[in-house]
Chain A
Amino acid sequence: MPTSTQTTVSGPAGAPEPDSHPKSGTGQRPKAVVRPGDRIFSAATLIAGILILLILAGVALFLLAQSKDTIEAQVNDPSSITGGNGFFSYVWPLVIGTLISSAIALLVATPFALGIALFTTHMAPRKLAPTLGYVIDLLAAIPSVVYGLWGIALAGSLTDFYLWLSKWFGWIPIFAPDANGDVSNTGRTLLTASLVLSIMILPIITSLTREIFLQTPRLQEEAALALGATRWEMIRMSVLPFGKSGIASATMLGLGRALGETMAVAMILSPGLLTASLVVSGNQTIASEIAQNFPEAAGLRLSELITVGLVLFVITLLVNMGARAIVAKTSVKGS
């Protein structure tokens, strides 16, 4: 411990320490010298740490302060809120849209992320593996607005696929065509947005699961191989069980990212009312509702959007805390 070492330090400040030094063995511990420099420095770092607490408290407080108008309107005159039926009926479809798009993104991204993580840790040639990991990290570096631009450019080419889906699987509500038996002719639907979202959360889940897979005890893997297991059997018997909780928390963190991702959805989705079908235009997510309406908003509308943001903040907070709880529960065993 650095502090205990410091008690026997004889500083350049000229304190009468050299005398006390031999006595320290006889049970009388000399007092640690605290210099002004130390005090200033530790205070500065402490203030920085406390500032972080304040920022997070500030996020919640100032969002609440700006939501005051909405809460008042909700109490006094619910019909003044967009939609005319109070705040909850306004925010409900947005929450559902957010959850649906995130769930689809997660469903698509997780198997791929696991595949990539397994490939880079256990299957790719040793020399190539770090480079391949870097390529996937590049996916994370690309700004979300560029993903949005790319999604808009490609959305149109998905309409044929959506037509095909609605023709053969239209009996499933999520692929049902609209009243005219048609699908969105621009392709800018919630399914497109969710697919782009899945590409955006792929690198996060991948890099987290990759780390977990690399931590698998080498002896377990080698023991499995020595008993004659094939590579896949080794992965199934030692790598996957070991990484189970890590995979769970990685997907939770990916979910947190997908819930809050704004631009891809705001740019790709042409918003509308809540519908069950994912291949016609419609639906909206919280983040994209804010992004699309905030620039022109004023007064009560502004306050409404901030309140909606508060709802999003709470949802992502819960998801992230859940993920951390899973990590905390298992990281002790893992090390």
Chain B
Amino acid sequence: MLTTTNNSTTTSRTLTSKQLPKATPWVVAVASIIVAIIISFIAFGGFNIPVVAVLAGLINVVAVFAISASYEGRRKATDRVATTVVTSSFILACVPLISLLWMTISKGGAAISFDLLSRTMLGMKGVLDQQYVAGEATIAGGFYHAIVGTVLITAMACIISIPIGVLTAIYLVEYAEKNRLGKAITFLVDVMTGIPSIVAGLFAFALFSTIAGFIMPDAAGIAKTGFTAAVALSVLMIPIVVRNTEEILRLVPMDLREASYALGVPKWKTIVKIVLPTSVSGILSGITIAIARVIGETAPIMVTAGFAKALNWNLFSGWMSTLPTFIYDSQLRPVSPGDAALASSERAWAAALVLVALVMLLNLLARVIAKVLAPKAGR
């Protein structure tokens, strides 16, 4: 008995190739990090994170290849190296994301307060910031006006672009049937997706300053309003809404439409009562994604709505501020130069925290909508 089992294992060994134990890549990775740290101490006289990371990566790849090639063969070794390289590229790409989120949370979280959320920059003076940096007063100013501006401008952009976007998508899916106009619109929506955001801003500004130029010459300045900014955002938002809605509408089964037609329901009623309710979750979540995309836009706002310091509820006259432009303005043009610029920077980070939280919330909302409102699959 014993001899036969021994025999069978030796014969089976010729069929399966030799393989390293499963834990090998991890052991090698940890070992190469340790070696890299040691080298860093010897050669550079200290612990230097970038140097260690680069060294560890190189040592790891070489070691994995050497060990695997000597035991498993060249082909398997190449496979292992490829896996290591691909995996580490993924990990490396996560570093900036984590660093950015961490910095936003730590810097913004340290600076944010209810006062900042509820005050504007009206009557802000450099002296107030100098006092704050010197530790004589609490931080002054705030970005309530920017929050209001963000909400108003984004809401206006939604009012403009959601009907246009959704109706266009309906036209493309239900009416165009691959005619020439449909193809042209599809192509131009693709082109619109690629418009640089600052060009969209310039377009809105050019549009309204041309109109303003007709009404009263030499008054191009009045073209900078919240509404102009909303038009600029719409140019960016419409293609996203069209693409997302179109994709969802195409998913609605043809059977549903045909069943409705067979019952004698007119086409428009079929679309309104059958097609749209079936796809409402997808459409809403697509719109939410589009809002999340444009709410963080800076460049189109700064060329169309300027930088307001005070609260402005009127979309049709005067400059407005949004969170992104507030961040830009605070960071690059601080209220007080020198050391006291720190106060402006702190306000910028606090606003960045609010903005990032808002965007993340919208993205989360899009996922929840897609899940909750999805048509029930059961009968």
Of B206-214, B308-316, B368-376, the one contacting chain A is B206-214
Find out whether the CB atom of B172 lies under 8 angstroms from the CB atom of A49.
Answer: yes
Given A35-B266, A302-B220, residue A321 in contact with residue B191 (CB < 8 A): yes
For A139, the chain B residues whose CB sits under 8 A away are 93, 96-97
For residue B92, CB closer than 8 A to chain A, the reply is yes
For residue A279, CB closer than 8 A to chain B, the reply is no
For residue A2, CB closer than 8 A to chain B, the reply is yes
Q: Could you tell me the dominant secondary structure of chain A's interface residues?
A: helix
Find out whether the CB atom of A143 lies under 8 angstroms from the CB atom of B198.
Answer: no
Which of B96, B100, B331, B356 is close to A152, meaning CB atoms less than 8 Å apart? Answer: B331
For residue B115, CB closer than 8 A to chain A, the reply is no
Q: Whole-angstrom distance between the alpha carbons of A147 and B355 in the complex?
A: 12
| Size bracket of the A interface | 35 or more
Q: Whole-angstrom distance between the alpha carbons of A256 and B258 in the complex?
A: 41
B residues 71-119 near A (Cβ < 8 Å) are 75-76, 78-79, 82-83, 85-87, 89-90, 92-94, 96-97, 99-100, 103-104, 107
Find out whether the CB atom of B100 lies under 8 angstroms from the CB atom of A150.
Answer: yes
For residue A208, CB closer than 8 A to chain B, the reply is no
Of A73-81, A171-179, A229-237, the one contacting chain B is A229-237
Given A115-B90, A135-B94, A263-B299, residue A316 in contact with residue B196 (CB < 8 A): yes
Q: Which 7 A-B pairs have the closest CB atoms?
A: A260-B196, A143-B296, A115-B89, A45-B171, A48-B167, A320-B194, A41-B268
Nearest B-chain residue to A230, judged by Cβ = B79
Which of A112, A146, A202 is close to B356, meaning CB atoms less than 8 Å apart? Answer: A146
Q: Whole-angstrom distance between the alpha carbons of A42 and B176 in the complex?
A: 10
For A309, the chain B residues whose CB sits under 8 A away are 198-199, 202
For B158, the chain A residues whose CB sits under 8 A away are none
For residue B235, CB closer than 8 A to chain A, the reply is yes
For A316, the chain B residues whose CB sits under 8 A away are 194-196, 199
Q: Whole-angstrom distance between the alpha carbons of A253 and B82 in the complex?
A: 26
For residue A153, CB closer than 8 A to chain B, the reply is yes
Find out whether the CB atom of A11 lies under 8 angstroms from the CB atom of B296.
Answer: no
For B90, the chain A residues whose CB sits under 8 A away are 115-116, 119-120, 124, 132
Which of B104, B191, B306 is close to A317, meaning CB atoms less than 8 Å apart? Answer: B191
For residue A274, CB closer than 8 A to chain B, the reply is no
Q: Whole-angstrom distance between the alpha carbons of A285 and B206 in the complex?
A: 21
In the assembled complex, the CB of B227 is this many whole angstroms from the nearest CB of chain A, namely 16
For residue A51, CB closer than 8 A to chain B, the reply is yes
Of A22-30, A82-90, A216-224, A288-296, the one contacting chain B is A288-296
Could you write out 15 A-B pairs with CB less than 8 Å apart?
A44-B167, A46-B181, A52-B192, A56-B191, A123-B86, A141-B360, A141-B363, A143-B355, A146-B104, A150-B103, A153-B107, A202-B93, A267-B331, A312-B199, A317-B191
B residues 286-316 near A (Cβ < 8 Å) are 292-293, 295-299, 302-303, 306-307
For residue B348, CB closer than 8 A to chain A, the reply is yes
Q: Whole-angstrom distance between the alpha carbons of A46 and B205 in the complex?
A: 27
For residue B46, CB closer than 8 A to chain A, the reply is no
User: 7 other contacts beyond A144-B299, A262-B198, with CB at 8 A cut-off?
Assistant: A42-B268, A62-B203, A66-B202, A66-B210, A115-B89, A148-B328, A287-B198
A residues 134-175 near B (Cβ < 8 Å) are 135-136, 138-139, 141-150, 152-154, 161
Given A52-B188, A233-B75, residue A147 in contact with residue B100 (CB < 8 A): yes
Find out whether the CB atom of B75 lies under 8 angstroms from the CB atom of A55.
Answer: no
